[in-house]
């Protein structure tokens, strides 16, 4: 279906990304999932094809596209057959780099943003800590000014791209007495003394993406690595989280759409009691319900994206889209697995991966419960 927000440019980008995903990504995801790592050539290749910079200005090597270009990328990557790589790409394009574009100096854009958009530097985003997940304001990682440097101490967990990232967009406390108003952002290079990757984490799903725990011990970074305004980091990152959540919702719905299409094909082909599964009304109704949920979730994502792209800050709708996208993707993959029966439980069928991967959509980037908290607040509750 065509939505008015998509122009011929968006359709052309969608076709190009789908062709790339079908030819160069999808045939390998099985292997990358097994290895729990995708190869390092993927980002430079995507950078060369211009896919990592679709919605960034031309002066930074981008294509100058709008927010919907990023959404198209998220949707098409989600169709590759595994959630891990699309998540890694989304961290690069929509989580770790937008704050540099928005708040960075020209030097920071030259050093970090441009190479990231070309796929030559891998980026990660460090918010979550062992003692601070949903409660971002309670982070304990501390940055203390020492002459013209900052000294960082703390620990980050669940960091996507954490193993391979060349730099991290790091959230740290600069004035613990000020709560939300005492948080700042920093750009920290891999290899900076005191910055170590302490372990690679084993995950239920999203396995081709690497997730790490990081440690900062008296890690000294130059003053110019402060990103944006000192003590405004919480507000800067909260703005960034909105765009991330919407792209995440779009990807979740797109991946669920693919899972649904495959389940429909399976139900047409699988014969039991002398007829294909789709001829059993309970299965037909299940598929009809799945198609309806997908359509409703996608409509909410698109209408919210239109507002966001037009410069509005629709926090309520973004939280709703993230909540619905995550829940629908989880329900669709579970319903699809049921349609596959015992085959769905076997590792040789992709639906088990969709089921495992989609579970994260209700946790990462803000849990269902936190989305409901935000929505409740916007309702004045």
Ligand X SMILES: Cc1cc2nc3c(=O)[nH]c(=O)nc-3n(C[C@H](O)[C@H](O)[C@H](O)COP(=O)(O)OP(=O)(O)OC[C@H]3O[C@@H](n4cnc5c(N)ncnc54)[C@H](O)[C@@H]3O)c2cc1C
Please tell me whether residue 83 binds ligand X under the rule CB under 6 A. no
State which of residues 34, 271, 369, 376 lies at the interface with ligand X (CB under 6 A): 369
For position 363 contacting ligand X by CB under 6 A, the verdict is: yes
User: Per CB under 6 A, does 91 bind ligand X?
Assistant: yes
* Rounded Cα gap, residues 245 and 241, in angstroms: 6
Please identify which residue in 355, 366, 374, 375 interacts with ligand X, judged by CB under 6 A.
366
Q: Which of residues 152-171 bind ligand X (CB under 6 A)?
A: 158-160
Find the helix or strand (DSSP H, E) in which 326 lies. Answer: helix 315-340
Minimum distance from residue 366 beta carbon to ligand X (Å): 6
End-to-end CA distance of the chain: 37
The reply to whether 293 belongs to the active site is no
**Closer CB to ligand X, 10 or 155, in the complex:** 155
Cα separation, 378 vs 355, whole angstroms: 31
Q: Choose between 161 and 352: whose C-beta lies nearer to ligand X.
A: 161
370 binds ligand X (CB under 6 A): yes
Asked if 232 contacts 269 with a C-beta cutoff of 8 angstroms, the reply is: no
Q: Which of 360, 361, 374, 375 binds ligand X (CB under 6 A)?
A: 360
The nearer residue to ligand X, 189 or 373, going by C-beta atoms, is 373
Helices and strands of the chain, counted as H and E runs: 13, 10
DSSP 8-state symbol, 7: -
Residue 234 CA to residue 240 CA, distance in Å, equals 10
Residue from the set 153, 196, 231, 367 that interacts with ligand X by CB under 6 A? 367
Answer for the pair 188, 226: CB distance below 8 angstroms, yes or no: no
Total chain residues near ligand X (CB under 6 A): 22
C-alpha 158/C-alpha 322 separation (Å) is 19
Looking at beta carbons only, is 91 or 185 nearer to ligand X?
Answer: 91
Instruction: Answer whether 85's CB lies under 8 Å from 209's CB.
Output: yes
What's the CA gap between 82 and 87, in Å, rounded? 9
- CB under 6 A: which stretch of 32-40, 106-114, 187-195, 362-370 binds ligand X? 362-370
Task: Write the binding mask 199 to 218 for ligand X: x where contact by CB under 6 A, - elsewhere.
Answer: ----x--x----x-------
CB of 282 to ligand X, least distance (A): 32
**Angle between helix 233-269 and helix 281-309 axes, rounded to 10 deg:** 150
Q: Residue 310 is encoded by which pair of tokens?
A: 């037009």
127 binds ligand X (CB under 6 A): yes
Using only the alpha carbons of the chain, give its radius of gyration: 21
Residue 245 or 298 with smaller CB distance to ligand X: 245
Q: Are 210 and 36 in contact (CB under 8 A)?
A: yes
Binder of ligand X out of 126, 228, 243, 326 (CB under 6 A):
126
The single residue among 219, 364, 374, 375 that binds ligand X, judged by CB under 6 A, is 364
Catalytic residue of the set 36, 75, 129, 244: 244
Count how many residues are written for the chain: 381
Instruction: Please give the positions annotated as active site.
Output: 244
Site residues, ligand X (CB under 6 A): 91, 125-128, 133-134, 158-160, 203, 206, 211, 360, 363-367, 369-370, 373
């Amino acid at each position: 279906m065509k939505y008015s927000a998509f122009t011929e440019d968006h359709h052309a980008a969608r076709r190009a990304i789908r062709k790339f995903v079908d030819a160069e990504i999808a045939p390998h995801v099985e292997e990358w999932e097994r290895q729990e790592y995708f190869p390092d050539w993927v980002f430079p290749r995507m950078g060369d094809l211009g896919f990592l910079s679709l919605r960034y200005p031309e002066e930074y090597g981008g294509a100058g596209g709008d927010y919907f270009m990023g959404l198209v990328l998220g949707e098409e990557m989600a169709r590759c057959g595994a959630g891990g790589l699309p998540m890694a790409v989304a961290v690069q394009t929509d989580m770790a780099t937008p704050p540099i574009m928005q708040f960075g100096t020209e030097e920071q854009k030259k050093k970090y943003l441009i190479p990231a958009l070309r796929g030559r530097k891998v980026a990660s985003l460090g918010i979550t800590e062992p003692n601070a997940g949903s409660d971002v304001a309670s982070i304990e990682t501390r940055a203390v000014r020492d002459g013209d440097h900052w000294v960082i101490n703390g620990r980050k967990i669940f960091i996507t791209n954490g193993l391979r990232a060349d730099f991290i967009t790091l959230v740290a406390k600069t004035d613990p007495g000020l709560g939300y108003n005492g948080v700042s952002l920093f750009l920290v290079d891999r290899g900076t003394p005191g910055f170590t990757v302490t372990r690679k984490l084993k995950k239920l799903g999203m396995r081709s993406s690497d997730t790490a725990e990081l440690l900062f011990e008296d890690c000294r970074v130059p003053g110019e690595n402060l990103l944006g305004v000192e003590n405004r980091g919480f507000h800067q990152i909260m703005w960034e989280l909105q765009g991330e959540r919407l792209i995440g919702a779009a990807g979740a719905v797109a991946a669920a759409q693919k899972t649904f299409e495959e389940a429909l094909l399976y139900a047409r082909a699988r014969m039991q009691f002398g007829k294909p599964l789709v001829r059993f009304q309970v299965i037909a109704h299940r598929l009809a319900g799945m198609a309806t949920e997908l359509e409703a979730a996608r409509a909410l994502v698109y209408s919210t994206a239109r507002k966001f792209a037009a410069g509005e800050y629709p926090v309520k709708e973004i939280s709703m889209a993230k909540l619905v996208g995550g829940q629908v993707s989880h329900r669709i993959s579970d319903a699809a697995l049921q349609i596959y029966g015992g085959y769905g439980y076997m590792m040789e069928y992709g639906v088990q991966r969709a089921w495992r991967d989609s579970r994260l959509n209700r946790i990462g980037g803000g849990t269902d419960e936190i989305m409901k908290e935000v929505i409740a607040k916007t309702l004045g509750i």
